[in-house]
Structure 1
Amino acid sequence: MAYYTSNAEHPIDIVNIASLENRVKARMDRGAFGYIREGAEDEWTLRENTRAFNDLRIAPRVLQGIDHVDLSTSIFGIDLKTPIIEAPSAAHGLAHVKGEVDTAIGAAKAGTLFAMSTYGSTPVEEAAAAAPEAPQFFQLYMSKDDGFNEFLIKKAVKAGVKAIIMTVDSTLGGYREEDIVSHFQFPLPMPNLAAYSASDGVGKGISEIYAAAKQDFVPSDIAKVKDMSGLPVFVKGIQSPEDAIVAIQAGADGIWVSNHGGRQLDGGPASISVLPAIAKAVNHQVPVIFDSGVRRGQHVFKALASGADLVAIGRPVIYGLNLGGAEGVKSVFDHLNMELSITMQLAGTKTIEEIKKTTLL
């Protein structure tokens, strides 16, 4: 059966990011929407990811002589117009016919970084070619088959990606009940898988896809990915200071603090709750990227003030993609940048570096 989804291509009006969810729910296939939106089990951690930002407070500052702010920043010498980047997520083709191609274009128009998933709906080289002027990272879900890992990494390197995101918190999938209720199966090919296996990936369920994933991660896997790629490697899915230290000692070039948007271990802490301790343990040895639960510009501010160097968003990008294609993706970044700019000025911070020196209450 053919799968139909959005072909919208226009900017979208946004009052707030949270409101996008219901707009997309009303126009999207139930199973596909559920897969994108859901969290694990009771979804407590999913909700806590956003709620926990309220435990941190920003001190308003005045008399700072600020009439405009500067959102620009950089990572590994890559200049970005905003500290807000796109978090890698699977199967953008569920949300829009152009999938990751439009997401990459939208991120490029926003002057930010796009991260492509192993489980994308688009070949990594096509997403890279869609926005050749923009920086892109590649998220690797390691397989039990090292031949596949090396094949995929070389494919990404050839496409011009600037770093590898090694995801280590998905040795198996969290128990996601919405997929069970809807009997969700991926209705679209996963071309990065198909390129190696000659299987088109159509009809694979969540459990089948995870069955091929590597589960017995050890620190030496970091060096293995570095050797295969010759690129900086971020280790994604870090939720404790101890794991951050182990990853850095094993050669990680960056730490990505994330609980997978509440999709893995329900009952775990909010990502923002563990960020300060992890950042303290990292102690500026490598960059720190943060995601999970970000829905406001003030959330971005709080994450940066808690030790993050960049802040990534996942579901909001997919919602913008569904509602407006590449321009909808740009609209999401534009809205969060607007909110962040207001927060910065009212908090008396002119630059991203000044946010990082801010003490939250």
Structure 2
Amino acid sequence: MSLPRIAIDAMGGDEGVRVMVEGAALARRRHDQFQFLLVGDETQIKSALESHPNMRGASEILHCEDVVGGDEQPSKALRRAKTTSMGLAVNAVKQGKAGAAVSAGNTGALMAMSKIALRTMPGIDRPALAAVMPTLEDEDVIMLDLGANTEADARNLVQFAIMGAAYSRILLGRKPRVRLLNIGTEENKGFDRLRDAAADLQAAKGLDMQFDGYVESDKINRGEVDVVVTDGFSGNIALKAIEGTARFVTDLLRSAFTSSLRSKIGFLVSRPATELLKHHLDPNNHNGAVFLGLNGVVVKSHGSANAAGVANAVEVAARLLEDDITNRIAKDLAELGEARLRETNGGAASEGTGK
């Protein structure tokens, strides 16, 4: 399989060049067809590459010393898009020098730069940030929006559902179950925009998804839904609550297992189960949030991700390139338009016959 190369913002993230290059190298050991454009300080990148001979023939370096700060305002970072490693990585996608960009830097700045450089797809009003989270079942759940848009109307939510379903089909290989996040599952619950979006999704019969109404936040990780759709404000709160709960459970177990000699013995007996739990809850194993709805692939790696987490983010970018996520979304948007046209014409025909 031949894929366009992936631009890596080597300066982003808490650990910077070392972890970003190590993560890319790990991904290439798993997939030897991967090629990279490493954007950042050339001296640091070359030093990091010395430990990864498998990367030398697969990487080109684009020198850049300017870095977007982790707490820098997106508006300020945007003015430096042409001089920062993040901006140049995204611009490489715009110019066709890379098929996708991966950064562990400032999320707001990455979103702003991506929107300006790549623009939104025709038929999409706003891009959304989507991430994969673990469930009790074998398959993960996709949730969007997770912070790109603090507010979303019914039209936005329908578009988010279409984008999330297209992403889910790539991961699952089947028609996904889609639900809107709400405070209850009853049809009369929630804001008008939620009820309007639900009505639109219910009426669009031709879409390659199974719309199942609403889901409450305590059911997100139960394995009963494949795509959870919401606005960025609610989504970000739900995501952080889930992550916080996972850390709480992990810390609570650690404290319980070290509280006495008996509990330490109990830990040794139950260690295989606790290691499985730790692996399941480790955010590095689900790293790589995606900005859906852009004319190009941009993946956000968590700032604190380790090499394994960065490798997962790189693999997410490659998977979306391989399965042409942009074209999948475009086809579903076209189907939505046709479904609405059929509904309009059907209604007009009924009125004409007096039915």
Give the structure-2-normalised TM-score: 0.31
Name which one, 1 or 2, has greater alpha-carbon Rg: 2
* Structure number with higher relative contact order (C-alpha < 8 Å, ≥ 6 residues apart): 1
